[in-house]
Amino acid sequence: MTDPDPIRLAHDERAELADFLAGLTAEQWDAPTLCHRWSVRDVVAHIISYDDLGPTAFVGRFAAGRFNPDQVNQVGVDQYRQLTPDELLAELKGHLHPAGLTARFGGRIGLVDGLIHHQDIRRALRAPRDVPTERLATALPFARVAPPIRAFSRVRGLRLVATDVGWTSGKGPVVEGPAEPLLMAMAGRADALDELGGDGLPTLVGRVAA
C-alpha cells in the first residue's frame, strides 16, 4: 500500500473548500473566522496568496512584512482585498493544485494550511463536516513540527493521541481526542479544546491561551 500523496490531498481539500464557499452568502463572506482579525474572504485570500510568488517576490513579501510572520501574511491578504467574493472564489478554483511555497515538502504545506484554514471558516460559521481520515493522518505529523504552525512550543512535553486515526506523538501527560480538534488545538485554536481530554489538557489550554 502506497503512502498518500499530499499534493493530491491538498488539491482535494481546496476543492472541497471551494464547493463550500460557493454556497455562502455575502454576509458570511464578511463574517469573522477563528483567525484573529480575518474574515472569511481574508482567509481565502491567504490560502492562495503564496502560490504565484517566485523567489524575488517571496523575498519582497517578507521584506514588506518586516520578516514578522503575521505581518508577512497580512501583506499577502491585503493584495487581494479589492477582490469580490466571486473573484476570490474564481482565484481559489484556479489554484486548487498547490504551487510555489504551498507545494513544498511534497505538498504538505498546502495540505496543512488549507485544512486548518478550512476549519477556521467552518467552525466560526458553525458548519461542521467530516474531514477525510487520510488528510488528517497525513497533516498531523507535519503540523506538529512545521514552524509556521508554532505547535512545537504548545505541545512540548505532552503526548498527543488522535483517537480516530491511530496517531500518537511525544512523551508526557496525554492530550487525546479526535484528530480534527487535536490538529486545531495544536494550531492554537481555543475553539477546539473542549473536544479534547487527558491529564495534559490543562497544560495545552494554558499554552493556547498564552
Digit-coded pLDDT (tens) for 32-70: 999 989 999 999 999 998 887 777 776 777 787 677 777
What pLDDT score does 1 carry? Answer: 46
pTM for the model: 0.93
Q: Do domains 6-124 and 139-209 have the same CATH topology?
A: no
Say whether pLDDT at 100 is over 90.
no
Higher pLDDT, 21 or 59: 21
Q: What is 139-209's CATH topology?
A: Nonspecific Lipid-transfer Protein; Chain A (3.30.1050)
What pLDDT score does 148 carry? Answer: 87
- Mean pLDDT (the chain) is 93
What pLDDT score does 81 carry? Answer: 85
Say whether pLDDT at 2 is over 60.
no
pLDDT more than 70, % of the chain: 98
pLDDT, mean of residues 119-135: 97
pLDDT more than 90, % of the chain: 77
pLDDT, mean of residues 1-27: 92
Q: What would the 3-class secondary structure string for the chain be? A: CCCCCHHHHHHHHHHHHHHHHCCCCHHHHCCECCCCCCEHHHHHHHHHCCCCCCHHHHHHHHHHCCCCHHHHHHHHHHCCCCCCHHHHHHHHHCCCCCCHHHHCHHHHHHHHHHHHHHHHHHHHCCCCCCCCHHHHHHHHHHHHHCHHHCHHHHHCCCEEEECCCCEEECCCCEEEECHHHHHHHHCCCHHHHHHCECCCHHHHHHHHHC
pLDDT, mean of residues 24-35: 97
**Euclidean distance between CA atoms 150 and 155, whole angstroms:** 9
Q: In the chain, where are the structural domains located?
A: 6-124, 139-209
Q: What is 6-124's CATH topology?
A: Four Helix Bundle (Hemerythrin (Met), subunit A) (1.20.120)
